[in-house]
Amino acid sequence: MFEAAILSVAYISKMSLVNLSQDYLNKGGVDASYFQYIDSSIQSVNHWAGTQGMIYHIVFALGSLILYSALYKSKLVPRFISASGFVAAISLLTGSVLANIDMFTGISGLEIIFALPIAVAEIMLVTWLIVKGFNPSALYSESDKTDQTKFKLAHPK
Protein backbone atom coordinates (compact mmCIF):
# COMPACT_ATOMS: atom_id res chain seq x y z
CA MET A 1 0.00 0.00 0.00
CA PHE A 2 2.81 2.37 0.88
CA GLU A 3 4.53 1.62 -2.42
CA ALA A 4 1.32 2.43 -4.31
CA ALA A 5 0.94 5.67 -2.38
CA ILE A 6 4.48 6.75 -3.26
CA LEU A 7 3.96 5.94 -6.93
CA SER A 8 0.66 7.84 -6.89
CA VAL A 9 2.41 10.93 -5.54
CA ALA A 10 5.10 10.61 -8.22
CA TYR A 11 2.65 10.31 -11.10
CA ILE A 12 0.35 13.03 -9.81
CA SER A 13 3.34 15.36 -9.56
CA LYS A 14 4.20 14.58 -13.19
CA MET A 15 0.67 15.38 -14.26
CA SER A 16 0.71 18.65 -12.33
CA LEU A 17 3.53 19.84 -14.60
CA VAL A 18 0.99 20.02 -17.43
CA ASN A 19 -1.17 22.47 -15.48
CA LEU A 20 1.90 24.45 -14.48
CA SER A 21 3.02 24.83 -18.09
CA GLN A 22 -0.49 25.89 -19.16
CA ASP A 23 -0.53 28.53 -16.41
CA TYR A 24 2.86 29.77 -17.58
CA LEU A 25 1.63 30.09 -21.16
CA ASN A 26 -1.59 31.84 -20.08
CA LYS A 27 0.39 34.41 -18.09
CA GLY A 28 2.42 35.27 -21.19
CA GLY A 29 5.81 34.54 -19.69
CA VAL A 30 5.46 37.07 -16.87
CA ASP A 31 7.48 36.24 -13.73
CA ALA A 32 9.10 33.09 -15.15
CA SER A 33 11.24 32.55 -12.05
CA TYR A 34 8.12 31.79 -10.00
CA PHE A 35 7.17 28.97 -12.38
CA GLN A 36 10.75 27.68 -12.51
CA TYR A 37 10.83 27.34 -8.70
CA ILE A 38 7.56 25.44 -8.70
CA ASP A 39 8.77 23.28 -11.60
CA SER A 40 12.00 22.35 -9.87
CA SER A 41 10.21 21.42 -6.64
CA ILE A 42 7.69 19.24 -8.51
CA GLN A 43 10.48 17.54 -10.40
CA SER A 44 12.28 16.95 -7.12
CA VAL A 45 9.20 15.19 -5.72
CA ASN A 46 9.03 13.10 -8.87
CA HIS A 47 12.72 12.25 -8.65
CA TRP A 48 12.60 11.05 -5.04
CA ALA A 49 9.22 9.32 -5.14
CA GLY A 50 9.20 7.95 -8.69
CA THR A 51 10.55 4.67 -9.97
CA GLN A 52 13.91 6.32 -10.67
CA GLY A 53 14.06 7.66 -7.12
CA MET A 54 15.58 5.79 -4.25
CA ILE A 55 12.65 6.18 -1.84
CA TYR A 56 10.57 3.93 -4.08
CA HIS A 57 13.35 1.32 -4.18
CA ILE A 58 13.73 1.38 -0.41
CA VAL A 59 9.99 0.87 0.09
CA PHE A 60 9.96 -1.88 -2.56
CA ALA A 61 12.90 -3.61 -0.86
CA LEU A 62 11.21 -3.45 2.55
CA GLY A 63 8.03 -4.90 1.05
CA SER A 64 10.07 -7.66 -0.57
CA LEU A 65 11.72 -8.46 2.76
CA ILE A 66 8.30 -8.86 4.34
CA LEU A 67 7.00 -11.01 1.46
CA TYR A 68 9.96 -13.36 1.29
CA SER A 69 10.20 -13.77 5.06
CA ALA A 70 6.49 -14.65 5.17
CA LEU A 71 6.97 -17.13 2.34
CA TYR A 72 9.94 -18.64 4.18
CA LYS A 73 8.02 -19.07 7.44
CA SER A 74 4.85 -20.40 5.81
CA LYS A 75 6.67 -22.84 3.49
CA LEU A 76 4.23 -22.01 0.67
CA VAL A 77 7.11 -22.12 -1.81
CA PRO A 78 10.42 -23.98 -1.52
CA ARG A 79 12.81 -22.49 0.99
CA PHE A 80 15.54 -21.83 -1.60
CA ILE A 81 13.22 -19.48 -3.50
CA SER A 82 12.16 -17.52 -0.43
CA ALA A 83 15.71 -17.42 0.97
CA SER A 84 17.17 -16.21 -2.32
CA GLY A 85 14.43 -13.58 -2.55
CA PHE A 86 15.20 -12.42 0.99
CA VAL A 87 18.92 -12.10 0.16
CA ALA A 88 18.06 -10.28 -3.08
CA ALA A 89 15.83 -7.84 -1.19
CA ILE A 90 18.68 -7.12 1.21
CA SER A 91 20.93 -6.50 -1.80
CA LEU A 92 18.39 -4.07 -3.29
CA LEU A 93 17.96 -2.30 0.05
CA THR A 94 21.74 -1.97 0.43
CA GLY A 95 22.12 -0.61 -3.09
CA SER A 96 19.25 1.83 -2.60
CA VAL A 97 20.64 3.17 0.66
CA LEU A 98 24.12 3.52 -0.85
CA ALA A 99 22.71 5.32 -3.87
CA ASN A 100 20.63 7.52 -1.59
CA ILE A 101 23.77 8.74 0.17
CA ASP A 102 25.46 9.35 -3.22
CA MET A 103 27.92 6.47 -3.12
CA PHE A 104 27.30 5.71 -6.81
CA THR A 105 27.70 9.19 -8.24
CA GLY A 106 28.48 8.71 -11.90
CA ILE A 107 28.58 4.88 -11.70
CA SER A 108 25.30 3.61 -13.08
CA GLY A 109 26.43 0.01 -13.58
CA LEU A 110 26.88 -0.55 -9.86
CA GLU A 111 23.22 0.18 -9.19
CA ILE A 112 22.23 -2.54 -11.66
CA ILE A 113 24.41 -5.06 -9.84
CA PHE A 114 22.47 -4.46 -6.62
CA ALA A 115 19.08 -4.60 -8.39
CA LEU A 116 19.71 -7.66 -10.58
CA PRO A 117 19.26 -10.29 -7.83
CA ILE A 118 15.73 -9.13 -7.02
CA ALA A 119 14.79 -9.43 -10.69
CA VAL A 120 16.09 -13.00 -10.76
CA ALA A 121 14.28 -13.83 -7.49
CA GLU A 122 11.00 -12.39 -8.79
CA ILE A 123 11.32 -14.41 -12.02
CA MET A 124 12.04 -17.57 -10.01
CA LEU A 125 9.03 -16.98 -7.76
CA VAL A 126 6.65 -16.26 -10.63
CA THR A 127 7.88 -19.26 -12.64
CA TRP A 128 7.47 -21.55 -9.63
CA LEU A 129 3.97 -20.27 -8.92
CA ILE A 130 2.89 -20.67 -12.55
CA VAL A 131 4.34 -24.16 -12.91
CA LYS A 132 3.84 -25.67 -9.45
CA GLY A 133 1.72 -23.27 -7.42
CA PHE A 134 1.69 -23.01 -3.65
CA ASN A 135 2.53 -25.98 -1.45
CA PRO A 136 -0.96 -27.25 -0.57
CA SER A 137 0.13 -28.94 2.66
CA ALA A 138 1.40 -25.59 4.00
CA LEU A 139 -2.06 -24.05 3.65
CA TYR A 140 -3.44 -25.98 6.63
CA SER A 141 -2.50 -25.28 10.21
CA GLU A 142 -1.19 -28.04 12.44
CA SER A 143 -4.57 -28.40 14.16
CA ASP A 144 -6.30 -28.75 10.78
CA LYS A 145 -3.83 -31.48 9.79
CA THR A 146 -4.49 -33.47 12.97
CA ASP A 147 -8.25 -33.04 12.53
CA GLN A 148 -7.99 -34.37 8.97
CA THR A 149 -5.93 -37.35 10.19
CA LYS A 150 -8.52 -38.11 12.87
CA PHE A 151 -11.30 -37.84 10.29
CA LYS A 152 -9.50 -40.23 7.92
CA LEU A 153 -8.91 -42.73 10.76
CA ALA A 154 -12.50 -42.52 11.98
CA HIS A 155 -14.05 -42.77 8.51
CA PRO A 156 -11.98 -45.12 6.32
CA LYS A 157 -13.13 -45.62 2.74
Per-residue pLDDT tens, the chain, 157 aa: give them. 777 777 777 777 777 777 777 777 777 666 777 777 777 777 777 666 655 566 777 888 889 999 999 999 998 999 999 999 999 999 988 888 887 776 666 556 777 888 899 999 999 999 999 998 887 777 665 555 555 555 555 555 5
pTM of the predicted model over 0.85: no
Q: In Å, how far are 65, 75, 77, 124 from 128, measured between CA atoms?
A: 19, 13, 8, 6
Domain boundaries, the chain: 1-52, 54-140
**Rounded Cα gap, residues 86 and 72, in angstroms:** 9
DSSP string across 46-113 = HHHHSTTSHHHHHHHHHHHHHHHHHHHHHTSS-HHHHHHHHHHHHHHHHHHHHHHTTTTTT-HHHHHH
